[in-house]
Chains A and B, each alone.
Chain A
Amino acid sequence: MNKRLAVTYLLLIFLVTFLSRAFVSFQTDEFAYDAYFSLRQVESIKNSGLPLFNDPLSFGGRVHLFHPLFYYFISIFASIGSGLASKIIPNLLASTIIFAIYLLSFHITKNRSVSLLSSFMSGFIPVFFINFNDISSNALMIPLTFFLLYSILKIDQPKHLGFALLFLVLLVLTSASVFMVILGLLLFLLLTRVESLEVNRKQQEFILFASFLALWFNFIIFKKAFIMHGPFVIWQNIPVQILSRFFFDLNLLQVTYYVGFIPLVLGVYSIYHVLFKQKKRSLFLFIALFLSVLLLLWLKLIQFELGLVFLSFALVLLSSHTIKQIHSYFKKTKVSNYANLVLVGLFVLFVLTSVIPSFTIAFSSINNVPSDSEVKALEWLKENSDMDAVVLARPQEGYIINYFAERKTVIDYNFLLVNNVQQIYEDVQSIFSLRLKTESLRRLNKYDVDYIYFSGRFGVDKKLYYIDEECFPLVYDDEIKIYSVECSLQ
């Protein structure tokens, strides 16, 4: 295949990937519940030039710690509307992963057909479709990571050294997950030593510098959090009651479904082949990345979905080596004319085992957005409550109350730098299930709650048991119920 045709195909794959993501994303006007935090950041940057590090609404007023680059990136395009930009830009960025995978795959295999198949596979990894409507910085961080790895592999060329430095700085400013990459790179150095492979001094120097930079920068950003939570920063101070929703045990069946059957099988075979048959230096980088992520997942030190995304892309790259092996093998046989059919066969298998699950996951995730009635209720709340009013809702609903109603909440899903988070979480959840009015009032008074927002969407309780007209008049009655808190305990 000539270069020009490969580029055409690659652009086609990019378009297919981007349009697929955009198509699913535009099935709803809303975003996932978590996305409204990002939307507020984008709008804050758009209006004032600064993100909301000091948030007056979340947890009744608190400080946020995060890497701002991704929000700045989206806000550049916010002139077309924050909502529209937040739909398009993350999906566009996420789709660029196919270019990085193509380049890396070509670096490994020197075969354009195989590289194109790998890049297509990277565009339709099921787990990459789980949270695609939540405006997550992962959309920028993941492609940046693989572009960085490509530049590191080609660091001998001065042009790529410049790119590597640029990608590193951008990555450090985008996400704390850069540690995962650093760990992978350090393991790569260790593996090359253990396997007595030639150590590229330029790579070694760059990795040392990257480790210093990532560690120092994140230490500065999260210093307050470290002081407050110590090593629990790793688990983002998430209350133990819900920690298992983010960090959970590896399950082979689940991993196969989310990563995809083809990348998993071919990738694992590649690891075996590289470690025991044919040592190939560039592949050790992805083996190191795979092993470090696997270790972090096993120790529950990274969020399950993010870990799986990295695992998937590492496996896609490793599987390109196996695909090349298979392709080369058939080329040497009497049916060499049909060698490309093997690639077609793998493509069809991949569509059946990964593309279809990707769309299934994507379509199911668009149901996880606030309904029109929720938005209507929150807009009513915005019009009919004091600016300083405090609203109690489930943690999942915190961001949408901050965004649509612009009112203070007791809790949301960003727990970093929050004191007594277990207690707050327990108090809030208990208010939705308590039977005793006095106890509920005691807890509501504790957080100065003025309104209870009850959607019935989260949790098992379908009504509040202690409600009466005297203390909790129903001020908004539709699918969503909003109660005013009128009594207090002396």
Chain B
Amino acid sequence: MKSDNKWIYEVLLLVFLILAISSGIRYFNNDPLFSFGEFYDDLRISHDLSEGNHYDVLQSRNHSISLTHYLLSLISSFSHEAMVLLAAVLGLASLFLFFKLTSIFIIDKRTNIFLTLLFGVSPAFIYLFTRLNELTIATFLSFLFAYLFLKKNNWSIIVLVLLSTASFSFLIITLLLASIYLFYRMKQKQLLTLLIPPIISFITFAFFHTGFLNNFFSDISFTSFFTEFGAMIGIPFFYLFLGIIGFFKSWRRRIDFSYLLLSIIVILVISLFNPAGRIFLTAYASIFAGILLNFLIDRRWEIIIIKKFTLLLVLCVVLFSTISYIDMTANSEPMNELENALIFLKSQSDGTVFSTQNNGFLISYFSDKKVFLDDNSIHAKNYDSLRQDETSIFYSRNLETTSTLLTDNSIHYILITPVMKQGAVWRKPTDGLLFLLENSDAFTSIYFEDNIEIWEFNKWNQ
């Protein structure tokens, strides 16, 4: 039997391989290394920050800056490959801390190995540590704080102060979990010592960085909760399912697991409307799923074949979640084709680009052009009116209406991706704007490759 430490190193190695595969697929496909648009906004902010700009000149609004952007600005000269490597190293450090943390609550070493592995191959973990964003840094700091806090190390306060400038959501959740722990251990007196430094640092940071205090609550929906339904930061359905069974299994030993059983209720509620909550929920679900897995292996089965099938099924379920998430990230924008189109757009004269909201960050980053809408526009006061205009432009077949809206919003370019034509926006080639582009002289096609189209609105050339 190998020693426990040796097992954890093998788990870390396996997780490193999975992180490497996730980024490796994109690397070998010549796609930009980071999937989804958010991280490209972070890169743009950190780039501006390295030049001393807190204001987004392109989008004419304040940048939403956190500690992560300062850290990113320090390594802005790094290549994307180096950033991926750094993220993976941070991931392994976080996973090791997670292992150490759970070892405090769960004495059984095999259970600890299982739950560490489950967390390490979870979609949320893969998302976090294949990039270096606000949540990546906050997760690491949160785990580091928890470990130092439980070991009664005073450095924990410093880490908590850093966390308070990294992510508001993580700060709230971490403080809640730490407070529950203090109440659970009857150490309420320490609460003030715990709360005051991070609150002061948070208020100070938020005062100098408008936009840092973003919305803690987001919409509750299945599509943002479960990764199988397309959630970028979500929980796999079967992690939750295994976790729930594990929870009830742990209920028998509720004295031993009382802190975990108590705190998960808070996490479950927060996870419904907050992505950071869903990261914690994945961690908790991994813990209870690990407990269940250990129980399934240890149980004296009456039917051995059912034991084998059940464990095989659990393995398939976990593999399925991991593989389908890696597949999702590998096939997410930005792909090489879109990058080429946006690099072409960069060479064109300045002007606002119209596309779907989720293409916004990518357009700004790769083409250095202003966009009509991106995911940060949601904080704009006239967001509803912008969305109405967007809908009208997409679906109207009236040239006059569309031209007026494009002119009013100073839109020069229209970017159309294959996904938009395959149901995300339009169903048929004769729908709304597609009809106008094909049948009106008001637009000129300036780029058409790999089914990606860029059209120029001619009004600005007249």
A215 and B241 CA atoms in complex are apart in Å by: 10
Verify if A298 is at the interface (C-beta below 8 Å from B): no
Interface residue stretch chosen among B259-267, B310-318, B335-343:
B310-318
B302–A230 contact, CB under 8 A?
no
Known: A205-B301, A226-B226, A226-B228. 17 other contacts (CB 8 A): A155-B303, A161-B303, A201-B302, A202-B302, A202-B306, A205-B303, A205-B306, A209-B306, A209-B310, A212-B310, A212-B317, A213-B313, A219-B237, A220-B320, A227-B223, A227-B229, A230-B222
Q: Which residues in B have their C-beta under 8 angstroms from that of A230?
A: 221-223, 229
A179 CB to nearest chain B CB (Å)? 13
Verify if A206 is at the interface (C-beta below 8 Å from B): yes
Q: Which residues in B have their C-beta under 8 angstroms from that of A205?
A: 301-303, 306-307, 310
Within 8 A of A (CB), among B309-364: 309-310, 313-314, 316-317, 320
0/1 per residue, B192-226, Cβ < 8 Å to A?
Answer: 00000000000000000000000000000111001
A208–B238 contact, CB under 8 A?
no
Verify if A231 is at the interface (C-beta below 8 Å from B): yes
A212–B237 contact, CB under 8 A?
no
B119 CB to nearest chain A CB (Å)? 20
Q: How many residues of B contact A (CB 8 A)?
A: 26
* Given A161-B303, A209-B306, A230-B221, A223:B316 Cβ within 8 A: no
Chain B interface mostly? helix
A385 and B238 CA atoms in complex are apart in Å by: 49
B313–A212 contact, CB under 8 A?
yes
Q: Which residues in A have their C-beta under 8 angstroms from that of B320?
A: 216, 220
Binding site for B on A (CB under 8 A): 155, 161, 165, 201-202, 205-206, 208-209, 212-213, 215-216, 219-220, 223, 226-227, 230-231, 419, 448
Verify if B379 is at the interface (C-beta below 8 Å from A): no
CB closest chain-A residue, reference B308: A209
Q: Which residues in B have their C-beta under 8 angstroms from that of A226?
A: 222, 226, 228-229
A202–B228 contact, CB under 8 A?
no
B280 CB to nearest chain A CB (Å)? 23
A419 and B226 CA atoms in complex are apart in Å by: 21
B310–A227 contact, CB under 8 A?
no
11 sample A-B contacts, Cβ–Cβ < 8 Å, listed by A number:
A202-B302, A209-B309, A212-B310, A212-B317, A215-B241, A216-B316, A216-B317, A219-B228, A220-B320, A230-B221, A448-B428
CB closest chain-A residue, reference B242: A212
* Given A212-B313, A216-B313, A227-B223, A206:B303 Cβ within 8 A: yes
A220 and B317 CA atoms in complex are apart in Å by: 10
A342 and B245 CA atoms in complex are apart in Å by: 49
Q: Which residues in B have their C-beta under 8 angstroms from that of A216?
A: 238, 313, 316-317, 320
A444 CB to nearest chain B CB (Å)? 14
Verify if B52 is at the interface (C-beta below 8 Å from A): no
A127 CB to nearest chain B CB (Å)? 33
Which one of B226, B303, B317 has the highest number of Cβ atoms from chain A below 10 Å of its Cβ?
B303
B378 CB to nearest chain A CB (Å)? 21
Q: Which residues in B have their C-beta under 8 angstroms from that of A209?
A: 306, 309-310, 313
* Given A223-B228, A231-B222, A206:B314 Cβ within 8 A: no
A212–B314 contact, CB under 8 A?
yes
CB closest chain-A residue, reference B304: A205
Q: Return the contact of B228 from the options A155, A213, A227 (Cβ within 8 A).
A: A227
Verify if B381 is at the interface (C-beta below 8 Å from A): no
Q: Which residues in A have their C-beta under 8 angstroms from that of B226?
A: 226
Q: Which residues in A have their C-beta under 8 angstroms from that of B302?
A: 201-202, 205
